[in-house]
């Protein structure tokens, strides 16, 4: 959940004038952090110092680093590696749009960084009060290998940046999430999975897809067993676990635990949104999954013990759309159906599978949060409302009204290709549940805002600050 993606590590505005590079963090990096607080004490500054890396012996710890020997030559090296090199060479002189050109996408502040083991930080000014004792974690895409073909900013491998503060001391580290994709590509030494978002947006990206299908059919990629996600979007704390499954150890290290089936064991198709909603009072999590084939969206609940409950297919959604996020309150869940649509058949025609349909009217689907089926869902047309990310939502007037704080994509026609022309408006949306209509909607700021967060303790409750 975004609320756990700490803004403790500030990102600067990138400049594409800086050449593409990979930032290397050595054993003695001079990384500076500034921590501000409401206390009357001076601003605290942290600077890394020399450290000793702890040796980890558990089979789960440093899985990739412990793989010292290669297995016998596989089909990857015999067949697919030469084909991969050939396919990649086809893109060498290809003119890519700027939003898919890795030389532009992965520049400056978005350039990939190397891992950094737990690094002790020295407090050089002021002190860190006990109220700051916790782990501040940020998730985001960071490609393990530099792509040679089309690449979208959201396609990178998941990397967690963590600062753990305890007893006046701080430890920083950044490590990749050990997904199946990451481990396999690390062992092989080159990428084998196509860049998913680039595949949806680039019409000629077919060679990589063909090789991926061949790898799956020959058993070289076991995606139906191990999945193929990057775990790069967000973090959520529920059912006694921090998802995208990681573990913060006593020395501030980050360790991937592995995939979690939420005790459902339904396999490959049992996916989940990267933006679950957590009820801090009940400990329940609410989530959904979407597909490019019917049912295009299914809703489900995860109880306080971390057990997934049955799916509620939303069959009234007639087309696949980019439902990135949703809202939840004490009484309802609300799904946005926006103007960005998905159709895999377009790839056969040499077109992008994802496009903007300006003739479609955006709408919101309101469903009781404990619904057993979709019979009580209500779809409300809201022209001009394309919700990409929801900050919070709550009930008012004993559940007769729902208030949603969300970002609305303005200039939706530029969202997929000319992102520099798009704007996001933070809006307050009020739904009259009985009248089945939006009765109020207005921006809360004139600034270009997105990815807002709140104190997670106020999830599903009326929020004053974002």
Residue pair 164/170 in contact (Cβ under 8 Å)? The answer is yes
Which two tokens mark 58?
């558990």
Please choose, from the candidates 132, 113, 103, the residue with its C-alpha nearest in 3D space to the C-alpha of residue 37. 132
Q: From the CB of residue 332, how many other CB atoms can be counted at a distance below 10 Å?
A: 23
What span, in angstroms and rounded, lies between the C-alpha atoms of 167 and 35? 16
**pLDDT by residue (tens digit) across 371-383?**
999 999 999 999 9
Residue 238's pLDDT is 58
Task: Give the H or E element holding residue 225.
Answer: helix 223-226
pLDDT band of residue 291 (cuts 50, 70, 90) is confident
pLDDT > 90 fraction of the chain, expressed in percent and rounded:
37
Structure confidence at residue 266 (pLDDT): 58
Helix 81-89 with 207-217: angle, nearest 10 deg? 170
Asked if pLDDT for residue 243 goes beyond 70, the answer is no
Asked if pLDDT for residue 278 goes beyond 80, the answer is yes
At 33-87, the pLDDT tens digits run 333 332 233 333 333 333 233 333 333 444 444 344 344 456 666 777 777 777 6
Three-state secondary structure of 352-378: CCEEECCCCCCEEEEEECCCCCCCCCE
Work out the percent of the chain whose per-residue pLDDT is above 70: 71
Residues whose CB falls within 8 Å of the CB of residue 178, separated by 6 or more in sequence, listed in order: 63, 64, 256, 258
Q: What pLDDT digit, counting tens, does each position of 87-123 carry? A: 666 655 567 778 888 888 898 888 999 999 999 999 9
Which one, of 254, 245, 7, lies nearest residue 119 by Cα?
A: 254
Q: Which helix (H) or strand (E) holds 81?
A: helix 81-89
Q: What does the pLDDT look like over 435-463, one tens digit per residue?
A: 999 999 999 999 998 888 898 889 999 99
Q: What is the mean pLDDT of residues 20-36?
A: 39
Contacts of residue 38, defined as CB under 8 A and 6 or more positions apart, other chains included, come to none
pLDDT higher than 50, residue 21 = no
Q: What pLDDT, on the 0 to 100 scale, is given for residue 151?
A: 84
Average pLDDT, the chain: 77
The lowest-confidence range among 157-166, 273-282, 305-314, 347-356 is 347-356
216 against 288, higher pLDDT:
288
Q: Output the CA–CA distances (angstroms, integers) from residue 193 to 94, 208, 216, 234, 418, in the order listed.
A: 20, 8, 11, 21, 26
Q: What is the pLDDT of residue 330?
A: 96
pLDDT digits (tens, 9 = 90+) for 133-149: 988 888 889 999 988 77
Say what the pLDDT of residue 225 is: 75
Structure letter (DSSP) for residue 179 = -
Greater model confidence, 27 or 93: 93
- The model's pLDDT over 342-373, given as tens digits with 9 standing for 90+, comes to 888 877 776 778 899 999 999 999 999 999 99
Amino acid 358: pLDDT: 95
Mean pLDDT across 231-235: 77
**Predicted pLDDT at 154:** 83
Work out the number of other CB atoms within 10 angstroms of the CB of residue 305: 11
Report the pLDDT value the prediction gives residue 76, as an integer from 0 to 100: 62
What's the pLDDT score for residue 260?
A: 58
Q: Is 275 annotated as a binding residue?
A: yes
Q: Residue 201: what pLDDT?
A: 65
Quick one: average pLDDT of 405-411? 94
Strand partners, 381: 363
pLDDT tens digits along 296-346: 999 999 898 888 899 999 999 999 998 989 999 999 999 999 999 988 887
Cβ contacts of 42 within 8 Å, gap of 6 or more: 125, 126
Whole-angstrom distance, CA of residue 454 vs CA of residue 95 = 41
Q: What is the pLDDT of residue 198?
A: 73
Which of 41-50, 179-188, 232-241, 355-364 has the least mean pLDDT?
Answer: 41-50
């Amino acid at each position: 959940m975004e609320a756990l993606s700490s803004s403790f590590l500030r990102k600067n505005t990138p400049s594409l004038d800086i050449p593409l590079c990979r930032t290397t963090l050595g054993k003695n990096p001079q990384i500076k952090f500034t921590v501000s607080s409401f206390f009357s004490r001076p601003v605290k500054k942290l600077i890394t110092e020399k450290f000793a890396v702890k040796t980890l012996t558990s089979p789960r710890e440093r899985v990739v680093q412990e793989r010292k020997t290669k297995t016998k030559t596989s089909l990857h090296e015999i067949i697919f590696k030469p084909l991969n090199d050939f396919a990649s060479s086809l893109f060498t002189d290809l003119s890519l749009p700027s939003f898919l050109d890795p030389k532009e996408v992965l520049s400056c502040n978005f350039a990939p960084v190397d891992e950094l083991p737990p690094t002790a930080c020295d407090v050089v000014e002021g002190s860190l009060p006990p109220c700051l004792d916790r782990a501040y974690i940020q998730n985001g895409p960071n490609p393990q290998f530099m792509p040679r073909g089309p690449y979208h900013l959201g396609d990178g491998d998941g990397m967690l940046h963590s600062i753990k503060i305890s007893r006046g001391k701080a430890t920083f580290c950044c490590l990749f999430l050990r997904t199946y994709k990451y481990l396999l590509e690390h062992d092989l030494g080159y990428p084998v999975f196509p860049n998913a978002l680039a595949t949806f947006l680039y019409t000629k990206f077919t060679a990589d897809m063909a090789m991926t299908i061949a790898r799956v059919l020959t058993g070289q990629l076991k995606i139906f067993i191990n999945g193929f996600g990057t775990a790069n979007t967000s973090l959520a704390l529920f059912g006694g676990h921090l998802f995208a499954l990681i573990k913060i150890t006593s020395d501030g290290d980050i360790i991937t635990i592995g995939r979690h089936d939420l005790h459902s064991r339904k396999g490959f198709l049992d996916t989940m949104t990267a933006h679950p909603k957590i009820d801090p009072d009940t400990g329940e999590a609410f989530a959904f999954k979407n597909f490019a084939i019917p049912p295009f969206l299914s809703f489900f609940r995860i109880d306080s013990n971390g057990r997934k409950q049955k799916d509620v297919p939303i069959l009234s959604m007639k087309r696949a759309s980019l439902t990135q996020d949703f809202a939840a309150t004490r009484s309802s869940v609300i799904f946005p159906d926006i103007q960005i649509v998905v159709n895999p058949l377009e790839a056969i025609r040499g077109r992008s599978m994802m496009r903007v349909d300006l003739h479609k009217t955006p709408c919101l689907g309101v469903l009781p949060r404990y619904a057993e089926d979709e019979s009580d869902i209500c779809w409300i047309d809201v022209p001009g409302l394309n919700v990409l990310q929801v900050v919070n939502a709550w009930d008012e007037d004993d559940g007769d009204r729902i208030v949603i704080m969300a970002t609305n994509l303005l200039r939706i026609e530029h969202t997929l290709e000319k992102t520099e022309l798009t704007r996001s408006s933070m809006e307050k949306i009020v739904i009259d549940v009985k009248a089945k209509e939006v009765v109020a909607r207005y921006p809360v700021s004139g600034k270009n805002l997105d990815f807002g967060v709140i104190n997670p303790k106020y999830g599903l409750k009326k929020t004053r600050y974002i």
